[in-house]
Structure 1
Amino acid sequence: MFSYDDLEIFVTVVQSEGIVKAAQKLNMNYTTVSRRVKQLEENFQQPLLAADRHKFLLTEFGNKLYHLIENDIELMTLMKNKIIEEMSSAKEPSGIIKVQLPYVISLDRFTPYIHEFLLQYPNVDLHIWYQNNDIDLVKENFDVVLLNHPSKLPWQKSRIIHRSKVRLFCTKAYAAKHGLPMTPMELSNHLVTGGILEGQFNKNLKIVNINTGEETTVPMPQRIATNSMIHNLALLQSDEVIISAFEDIEKHAIYHKLIPVLPDYRMIEIKFYLLKNPYKNSVNIEAFCAFLESCLNR
């Protein structure tokens, strides 16, 4: 049985007025083009090309076949070229990428670098939701979601792409005014923000000695507890409280005046889970996820 490609070759041979020129145009060797035309003749059980050494001629059947299919072949060729072009352009990220990112870690680990992604991919429109909600990616039409806890929707696959430890900080003014606790038990003598994690207030605070691995449990500060590190950072500017924040936050210029409290200890470790929509543009998703991970690991 003949194929569309065989008919396309035949049309090209006719329009090129010979197999030699058709082979050059198709970037194929002469033998292959000749063999494909021969296969068509065998399938139709009719000669297509007339035997003439001086000029290119079609047989009566060959002429009828050419006029029957030439318009359709040209249309099919245009369609094929358009599909190839679309497939080629689909290899580059383009269109809208809808993502959800947690507030705090994005503040200094991702948001300052967004322009790099947009400059690298000029055909991308990036729509960002800064929140930490458990959502159904498919139902809400998100491409990528980053959570600081495992998804509560069991059918959504995720993987841990980043871990960040939480430590205590204060300002230089606070340290000068109130001094610094030297042991975990001395925290009760200071105004320290407690944490509300996933809607729950924990009465006890477990901290770990980073040198020995020894764990110490102290009563969680009662007077103020929040579920937002961003608001903790604003509260810090009063120079009257000790707050919890990601351990590397003092490396960033905007927070260069922070002082680690109990520098040999850390609090909890927060894991960040990456979720991808399996039904959205994989080129977009993989490009964004690679960039996101590179930002988190700077």
Structure 2
Amino acid sequence: MDRFLEMQTFVGVVDAGSFVKAADTLNLSKAAVSRYVLDLETRLGVRLLHRTTRRLSLTEEGQVFHARCKALLAGLEEAEVEITSRSDLVSGLLRLSVPVTFGVLHLAPLWGLFKAQHPKLRLDITLSDRVVDLVEDGYDLAVRIGRLESSTLVSRQLSSTRLVLCASPAYLAAHGIPTHPAELAEHAVIAYSYWSGRDEWSFDGPQGELRVSTQPCIRTNSGDTCRAAALAHQGVILQPAFLVGPDLAAGTLVELMPQYRAGELGIYAVYPTRQHLSAKVRRLIDFLVAQLAGRGPDW
């Protein structure tokens, strides 16, 4: 029997206060947890836990052994973290999925810098706005923009960006400047296919939240295409500031109804599990956090 697993299970039971809760925490069956603790007591020849139907308590020997086990496990974890953090020679293949526009504009310039820091690492970067299944498709990490749904995945926020309602001056001169979101129903709208609300756009204004149904004249799964159509005076778009910020600064696009906020989107690094996180993924997450610090929501 693995002594480390026995000690880890025993500490888990004591810290959780029950065999059932420890089983959930350790991702083991209750029967396995009970067997590991019983085998440990049998091997040591002492009772470590008093068991009743309502509660668990440590015997005197259990208190001593629990303290020693905690110290040993903590020391092992510290040693692993220290060795991992000291190793600069991460290697192997790192498969990433990143959004197309954000990947081109803001991530593409970073990959060379990251690769220079870790020359033995091989990068496989896929640009797609499709929400991939990290486990099924074999990705180590994805960058996602939006409001994350609850899932079994682990995420770390890298930055944020606000959504901007805008159009070109020429379009507004020809069709008028809307002053209330309800007027968007009468305007040409260029819609992004992957937007979760589809043709219903939400705003938070002086009187609270309101939703507006739009009638897109152009629909596309590319934010760049939305922007290009707006610059060609074809209609109104709702796109993130990281994409249209330079156009707003240059005056080629004009923000509409700034008193009605369309909200912010988080920019996240998403990965399958926090447990046994590889050094290469940890290094990439820390790198992206450092590089994107201070960015957003206006970019």
Partner of 1:114 in structure 2? 111
**Quick one: structure 1 residues 220 and 123, their matched pair in 2 at CA, closer, same or farther if it must change by over 3 Å?**
same
- Give 1:232 shift: 0.6
TM-score of the superposed pair, with normalisation by structure 2: 0.57
Could you tell me which of 70, 95, 101 is aligned with 2:92? 95
Identify the residue that residue 219 of structure 1 maps to in structure 2: 213
1:263 aligned to which of 258, 266, 269: 258
Secondary structure of 1:270's match? strand
Amino acid aligned to 1:114: W
Q: CA 1:295 to 1:235, structure 2 compared with 1: closer, same or farther past 3 Å?
A: farther
Question: What displacement does 1:201 show?
Answer: 3.0
- Per-residue CA deviation, residues 40-97 of structure 1 (Å, 9 max, x unaligned), is xxxxxxxxxxxxxxxxxxxxxxxxxxxxxxxxxxxxxxxxxxxxxx989943333332
Query: How far did residue 98 of structure 1 move?
Result: 1.2
- Alpha-carbon offset, residue 151 of structure 1: 7.3
Is 2:189 the partner of 1:192? Answer: yes
Contact between 1:229 and 1:244, CA under 8 Å: does it hold in 2? no
Report the equivalent of 1:288.
Answer: 284
Please name the residue that 1:47 is paired with.
none
Unaligned stretches of 5+ in structure 1?
Answer: 1-85
Letter of the 1:113 counterpart = L
Equivalent residues in 2 for 1:96-175 (5 A)?
A: 96-148=93-145, 154-175=151-172
Alignment of 1:4-153 (within 5 A): 90-148=87-145
Q: Please, which runs of 5 or more residues in structure 2 have no aligned partner?
A: 1-82
Shift of 1:130: 1.0
d(CA) in 1 for partners of 2:272, 2:260: 38
Q: 220-229 or 123-132: which moved more?
A: 220-229
For the residue of structure 2 that corresponds to 1:241, the secondary structure is coil
* Contact kept in structure 1, 2:168 and 2:254, CA below 8 Å: yes
Matched, 1:240 2:257: no
Rounded Cα–Cα distance in structure 2 between residues aligned with 1:282 and 1:205? 40
Match of 1:249 in 2: 243
Please state whether the residue corresponding to 2:114 is helix, strand or coil: helix
Structure 1 residues 172, 149: closer, same or farther in 2, change over 3 A?
Answer: closer
Opposite residue 202 of structure 2, the aligned amino acid is K
Superposed displacement of residue 296, structure 1: 3.7
Does the CA contact (< 8 Å) of 2:202 and 2:262 recur in 1?
A: yes
Paired residue secondary structure (2:189): coil
TM score, norm. by length of structure 1: 0.57
**What is the distance in 1 between the residues matched to 2:127 and 2:207?**
34
Match of 1:239, SS state, is coil
Q: Distance in 1 between matches of 2:172 and 2:290?
A: 35
2:167–2:233 contact (8 Å) kept in structure 1: yes
Pick the aligned partner of 1:205 from 181, 201, 204. 201
| Structure 2: distance between partners of 1:222 and 1:248 | 23
Amino acid at match of 2:229: L
Aligned residues: 210
SS at the partner of 1:293?
helix
Indicate the SS of the match to 1:182. coil
RMSD: 3.5
Match of 1:53 in 2: none
Q: Which amino acid aligns with 1:208?
A: D
Does the 8 Å CA contact 1:190/1:241 hold for their aligned counterparts?
A: yes
Cα 1:138–1:191 change in 2 (3 A) is closer
Q: Is the 8 A contact 2:92 2:122 kept in 1?
A: yes
Q: Is contact 2:144–2:267 with CA below 8 Å preserved after alignment?
A: yes
Q: Which has the larger radius of gyration?
A: 1
Question: Contact 1:143–1:277 at 8 Å: present in 2 too?
Answer: yes
Judging changes above 3 Å, is the alpha-carbon distance between structure 1 residues 189 and 93 closer, same or farther for their aligned structure 2 residues?
A: same
Task: Give the corresponding residue for 2:223.
Answer: 229
